[in-house]
Amino acid sequence: MTVQSLDRAETSVRRTLGRSTSNIAFLVHSATGLWLTILLSVVLVTGTITVLFAEIDWLIYPEMRVAPAETRVNPGLLYDNAVAAYPDAGISFVGTGAMQERMAASAFAAVPGGGFRQVWIDQYTGTVTGDTPFTTVGRFINLMHTTLFLPVIGRYFVNFFGVMMLLSIVTGLITYKKFWRGFFRQPRFERGARTWLGDLHRLAALWSVWFLMIIGVTGAWWFYQNPLVEPGGAPAIVAERPDPPALTTAELDALGPGTPRPRSGAEIVAAVRAAYPGLTITGLRPPANAGQPFTVRGDRGEVLVQGGANTVYVNPYTAEIMGARLSEDWTAMQRVDAAMHPLHYGTWAKRGTADLAVKLVWFLGGAVASFLALSGLVIYLKRTRRAASAVWAGTRLAAHARRTWHWLKPWGGPMGALKYVNVLGLVGIAMGAALVLSLGSQGVGDKGARYPARAAGPFEVSPVALAGFLEADLEPIRPGATAAVFPEIANGRFGDARFIRIGVTDAGGTDTHSELVEGAEGIAHADVRLPDVLAGARLWVEIEGWDSRTHRASWPLTGG
């Protein structure tokens, strides 16, 4: 064999391998965009809107709008005024609005009788301006983007789309030969719709590839952590942050046998400012139970982190600093992990005109990503229609029937067998959306397993068990399942309980699992693992008063 023939053979092999690689890349690129195209489009469109969800709500709800002034009130006063205005509600978090000049501070409140509200407070005067539903228009879209309103698997799906986007980017660049030449290639609008739409699809993808990479990498990062690390058991790459400091039994006993009065939010913030004068306070979280500190979050000008990167822990009864977790104490991987959220949602500029400008760029990038998903589907359908026309030329009815069958048959259509996953996903989203709206306005209501009121010493308690917030319509009492149990304490005595513990006993009377209740009144609950055998098992609630005495009430787990 001559040298020339060897060269020709090698060139032929290379061309064949090149075509094979390109064909495989094209198939993978098409599959990632088409198999779950409906759910992918929902995630992309809602993600685009989510970038500006706070601004959208600001335009809709006048309670959120405030006039800037030269000075702001003590951020702790925002918490104090929210508690004073809603004395019977459980206030679990206050966002101070420090990063937004014209937006009111907000407090999350669990309203007696059911439902959750967002309370708005003027950060310059401390005046409560009103409240709105927790599921505002913008937040509703935000929740749809992050969870798809699907129980358990919703976040898995959303995070998995980050992996799919990375695959789509890489295979798209492989498919598009010498793609770097296409940055200034004009779409051929004089040609057919499939041609110019394909040209526009490639052009938009090239110019937005940097943005698509950011969204893909951050989504894939979260997919590794959830579900691969938790609950999948994959090796963790981000070290768990240490638990916050806790009040000791001796410290709690020293407060006396009566229900103690915690320090005000203003006093808590004054102590934090004295210890960390350069901290811009962005969030306040009261203790979730008597042993926990009051948590103050703040910003010190860090790059590529959210506004609450630093956490200071304060004794809620003495206003003494118990500890802090500051950004400079993070490991390298914790620092990378912290950058994912602001990169994904375009919130890294944090405040002012720069913040809005970056969000608008991210909004445009999301719109382009949504266009790529939808245009890819249209290109596929036009290609299919043209092929069908060629095969069934002159037979309109047959062509129409073929196209219909192409969509309906389990193995065909752009989504293949996964079309039913898409359809079931849409049904699940609709059902979950209705449930979220119901929970937001009515709370738990009559959902879940409800147990009759019983005395636990001086307390009257009636627990409610749910499979979970997004699973509120599912049966919560199942062998080996984990149920969220909410203790409802009558006569406004929730605050008189130092600790509330919920657990179960098996048929032999042995305690098998128990957890401390955490959260503000109205959302306080414990996640309790139920025994594998329910017959004879009992649910119990144990309440420890400030006099250190404990009282227990119990119920048959399956009998009420």
For residue 482, what pLDDT is reported?
93
Contact 523, 110 (CB under 8 A): yes
Task: Supply the pLDDT for residue 486.
Answer: 94
Give me the pLDDT at residue 383, please: 65
pLDDT at 376 over 90: no
The CA distance from 172 to 166, in Å, is: 10
Q: Which residue has the higher pLDDT, 472 or 556?
A: 556
Looking at the chain, the whole-number percentage of residues with pLDDT higher than 70 is: 90
Distance CA 560, CA 558 (A): 6
Please tell me the distance from the alpha carbon of residue 371 to that of residue 249, in angstroms, as a whole number: 58
Residue 120 has pLDDT above 90, yes or no: yes
Average pLDDT (221-241) is 93
User: How much is the CA Rg of the chain, to the nearest whole Å?
Assistant: 28
DSSP string, 115-160: -EEEEEE-TTT--EEEEEESS-HHHHHHHHHHHTT-TTTHHHHHHH
Q: 482, exposed or middle or buried, with CB in 10 Å at 0-12, 13-18, 19+?
A: middle
Q: What are phi and psi of 86, to 5 degrees?
A: -130, 70
pLDDT in tens, 177-221: 888 888 888 888 888 777 888 889 999 999 999 999 999 999 999
CA distance 321 to 314: 5
Calculate the CA 25 to chain-centre distance. 32
CB neighbourhood size of 84 (10 A): 10
Residue-wise pLDDT for 286-295, tens only, equals 999 999 999 9
Where are the chain's structural domains? 18-51+143-236+352-420, 62-135, 249-330, 449-556
Look up the CATH number of domain 249-330: 3.10.450
Per-residue pLDDT band at 10 (split at 50, 70, 90)? very low
pTM confidence score: 0.88
Q: Report residue 32's pLDDT band, with 50, 70 and 90 as the boundaries.
A: confident
The topology under which CATH files domain 449-556 is Immunoglobulin-like (2.60.40)
Amino acid, res. 313: Y
Task: Report the alpha-carbon distance of residue 306 to residue 347 in Å, rounded.
Answer: 7
Give the pLDDT confidence of 334-343 residue by residue, as tens digits: 999 999 999 9
> Looking at residue 7, what is its pLDDT?
46
- The pLDDT, as a whole number, for residue 409 is 55
Split at pLDDT 50, 70, 90, the class of 76 is very high
Among the residues of 308-418, which ranges form H helices? Answer: 332-345, 352-391, 396-408
pLDDT exceeds 80 at position 559: no
Structure confidence by residue, pLDDT tens digits, 344-369: 999 999 888 999 999 999 999 999 99
What are the beta bridge partners of residue 130? Answer: 120
Measured between alpha carbons, how far is 123 from 68 in angstroms, rounded to an integer?
9
